[in-house]
Amino acid sequence: MRAMRKFLASARFPASAGFLSATFLGACAAATFFAGGSARADQPVEWETTFQAPATDMMRQIEWFGNYTMWFIVPITVLVLLLLAFCIVKFRASANPVPSKTSHNTLIEVIWTVGPVVVLLCLAIPSFQLLTAQYTPPEEAKLTVKATGNQWNWDYEYQTANTLSFNSAILQDGDRKAAGKEDRKVYPRLLAVDNELVVPVNTMTRVLVTAADVIHSFAVPSFGIKMDAIPGRTNETWFKAEKEGIYYGQCSQLCGKDHAFMPIAVRVVSEAQFNSWLAAAKTDLPGANKALMAEIDGQNKVAVAGN
């Protein structure tokens, strides 16, 4: 999958090729369905020029809108370049020593007024629909998590019967072995954290986003979410992850000298795994994390052996 995504990132064109590559990636993801949860997660790859593989319906809509706009951007760009080339060649001084003094052309003025209006309408209508969908959850949230941005880490608080709170910070290289996160393909450098945000798959999750010091931003590309964390204010976003695995994001607001070292890691697991983890994490978070990782690794090995 990683090699294929790298190839497509370097070879694809905007518009139609972007659509085909997205379809191809979907087929690849389906082919690796039984390779385990971690293998189905997505993360940045070298020379990537498109969105990460979507893990929510909202991100698929965003990806569709991005490809849709290319059907307007590419033809308009090509048309402008052709018009410039035509004007340069036809109206150069040597070929046109006596320039026209025409100052008005009704047909051209109507075209360049009506044309952009039509294009803007074609972009605005689906854009407004998408924006409305982003702020209108289709169902009530079953899980609510509060994410508080700090310089430069995140505090998570599960608003359940017995509240669970913990801090999530970037994983230092020296702590990888003790945490059992030495595989850099699954836990990449500068994106892996000591404690992931764990959520159940196919569950509407509300995230209340705020900050303790300066403005941060909670962003996970595969989920299609990006919400500013502002001190003294609580913003709300939501997602419903459809695939198990680990998904990575980062603070996307310039928040100080360690802004580049403030990753977000969300581990999506089955509902049974989540319930077991949540019950154990309230008394022993490190032990609960290791038990969850061991269970997932065991399932991955069984899945790989069966294929």
Distance CA 26, CA 177 (A): 33
Pairing relationship of beta strands 164-168 and 153-158 according to DSSP bridges: antiparallel
pTM score of the predicted model: 0.77
Q: Is 264:251 a contact under the CB 8 Å cutoff?
A: yes
Domain containing residue 174: 143-306
Q: Sign (positive/negative) of CA torsion 19, 23, 225, 126?
A: positive
Residue 249 lies in a domain: yes
Residue 205 tokens, joined: 């999750």
- pLDDT value at position 268? 96
User: Residue 36 is which amino acid?
Assistant: G
Pick from 282, 60, 292, 22: nearest CA to 162: 282
HEC string of the chain equals CHHHHHHHHHHCCCHHHHHHHHHHHHHHHHHCHHHCCHHHCCCCCCCCCCCCCCCCHHHHHHHHHHHHHHHHHHHHHHHHHHHHHHHHHHCCCCCCCCCCCCCCCHHHHHHHHHHHHHHHHHHHHHHHHHHHHHCCCCCCCCEEEEEEEECCEEEEEECCCCCEEEEECECCHHHHHHHCCCCCCCCCCCCCECCCEEEECCCCEEEEEEECCCCEEEEEHHHCEEEEECECCCEEEEECCCCCEEEEEECCCCCCCCHHHCEEEEEEECHHHHHHHHHHHCCCHHHHHHHHHHHHHHHHHHHHHHC
Each of the 307 residues of the chain gets a pLDDT tens digit; together they read 444 444 333 433 333 333 333 333 333 333 333 333 344 567 788 888 888 889 999 999 999 999 999 999 999 999 999 999 998 998 888 888 888 887 888 898 999 899 999 999 999 999 999 999 999 999 999 999 999 999 999 999 999 888 899 999 999 999 999 999 999 889 999 999 999 999 999 999 999 999 999 999 999 999 999 999 999 999 999 999 999 999 999 999 999 999 999 999 999 999 999 999 999 999 999 999 999 999 988 877 666 566 5
**Residues 6 or more apart from 224 whose CB is under 8 A from it?**
54, 56, 58, 59, 61, 62, 134, 239
Residue 276 lies in a domain: yes
Distance CA 186, CA 89 (A): 55
**Residues 6 or more apart from 117 whose CB is under 8 A from it?**
none
Residue 51 lies in a domain: no
Residue 25 lies in a domain: no
- pLDDT value at position 257? 93
Residue 63 lies in a domain: no
CATH code for the domain of 151: 2.60.40.420
Number of Cβ within 10 Å of residue 236's Cβ equals 13
Pairing relationship of beta strands 197-200 and 225-229 according to DSSP bridges: unpaired
- pLDDT value at position 145? 96
Residue 290 tokens, joined: 């290791």
Residue 137 lies in a domain: no
Residue 76 lies in a domain: no
Residue 124 lies in a domain: no
Distance CA 110, CA 69 (A): 23
Domain total of the chain: 1
Q: Distance of CA 71 to CAs 64, 77, 119, 127, Å?
A: 11, 11, 11, 15
